[in-house]
Amino acid sequence: MTVLVGVRCTDGVVIGADSAATSAAGNMHLLKLASDKIVIVSERVIVAGTGQIGLGQRFTDQVKQAHDAKLFQQSPVNVAKALAAAGRNDFASTGATQGSYGALVGAPIEDSGQLIEFATADFQPELKNGKIHFVAMGSGQTLAEPFMSFVDRTFWRNKAPDVKAALFGVHWALAHTIRCAPGFVGDPICLAKLTNGNNGWKAELVSDEVLQEQAEHMAAIEERIAGYRDEMLGLVEAVAVPKP
């Protein structure tokens, strides 16, 4: 079971995931294990998957082959269609059940960070842009996506954020989902970012220090919300918020 969250930003892409995986015999879950659900391909592409781990390994290999074949130099729509076709054909070659795997891919295409969702139900692709700049997938979607809508409305003002703001929003949504989910999603949180620096576009996992920084921001904001409740109820004297 999984929760994935992705955001197309003004200056790149952020994708996050929990790290819990389950081992099962039929419909009976046996073990809850730690798993890497985000893979960096050639330091240029982020791939995150939900569903059968083996299908994720195969799709990641398809993305690697596509990158080496210069597919990402084509238009975003053509890249999305080609990756979807490659994944579906590979899965069909061994009779994989449709609906067993979905993915998020972040990549530089036409010198812009693009976020593509490959739906779990049929693996059809969708480019995230405009007002639809974030997405959640997996068993934790029902918890993560409404929370992302709250973050989008309050912190991002219904506009695509930059990578720095997206890292916080995605971390907060994942933490909320892990705390509230009945099971099969869990720590640690993993975040990856795609940014354009002095040496061009680069995809990478964020460091433990950056993850800790997001956790500290989250704790401070939640404490501020709790304090505002007390002010609203007249339990404490209101204090002006200091200027940053």
DSSP line for 32-101 = EEE---EEEETTTEEEEEEE-HHHHHHHHHHHHHHHHTTGGGS-HHHHHHHHHHHHHHHHHTTTPPTTSE
Mean pLDDT value across residues 194-210? 96
Query: In one letter, which amino acid is 110?
Result: E
- Nearest to 11, CA basis, from 183, 193, 237, 217: 193
Q: How far apart are CA 203 and CA 229, in angstroms?
A: 40
What pLDDT was estimated at residue 157?
96
- Nearest to 182, CA basis, from 25, 63, 72, 29: 29
Helix 163-180 and helix 208-232: axis angle, to 10°? 70
Q: How far apart are CA 59 and CA 226, in angstroms?
A: 44
Judged on CB neighbours under 10 Å (0-12, 13-18, 19+), 10 is middle
Note the pLDDT tens digit of each residue in 21-59: 654 434 443 334 445 889 999 999 999 999 999 999 999
Indicate if the alpha-carbon torsion angle 70, 74, 78, 80 is positive or negative: positive
What pLDDT was estimated at residue 239?
58
Note the pLDDT tens digit of each residue in 108-140: 999 999 999 999 999 999 999 988 999 999 999
Q: How far apart are CA 144 and CA 37, in angstroms?
A: 16
What pLDDT was estimated at residue 17?
96
Per DSSP bridges, beta strands 125-127 and 112-118 are antiparallel
Total count of residues recorded for the chain: 244
Query: In one letter, which amino acid is 160?
Result: A
Please report which helix (H) or strand (E) contains residue 225, including its range. helix 208-232
Q: How far apart are CA 22 and CA 32, in angstroms?
A: 4
| Percent of the chain surpassing pLDDT 70 | 89
